[in-house]
Amino acid sequence: MDKVKLTKAQAWHLENLREHHSKRDIVAIAINDPGSTAHVKGGINSIDHDTLIRALYVGYEVEQTVEEKLLEAYRAALPYQAAPDVQSAYREGVKKACEIAEIAVKWARN
């Protein structure tokens, strides 16, 4: 069985709960008393029960945000082995994609 993907907020809330509760208790809270964490945006109430149980017992990975994915693609192209005009066009394309999506990214060379 594969690990599930959680958002950063979901992972943060799940880890917070794990500091104070057993896995069994977290499942019980999610099923029997969902209102106790309903006020927490992106908390365990935003995770369906099957995914929550798999996250607790199989494991989970934190999804990258769109910003992180674009920045990763940009950084991967820095040692790009192509003609300067192609290399520059790729980086500029990623920057333009971020501008269109209204994503503020701190562009760095490393």
Instruction: Give per-10-residue mean pLDDT for the chain (110 aa).
Output: 90 91 90 65 80 94 84 70 66 79 69
Helices 23-32 & 49-57 angle (0-180, nearest 10): 170
Locate the domains of the chain by residue range.
Answer: 4-62, 66-100
Global pTM exceeds 0.85: no
Q: Which pLDDT score is estimated for 33?
A: 73
Q: Would you state the pLDDT for residue 76?
A: 73
**pLDDT value, residue 86:** 63
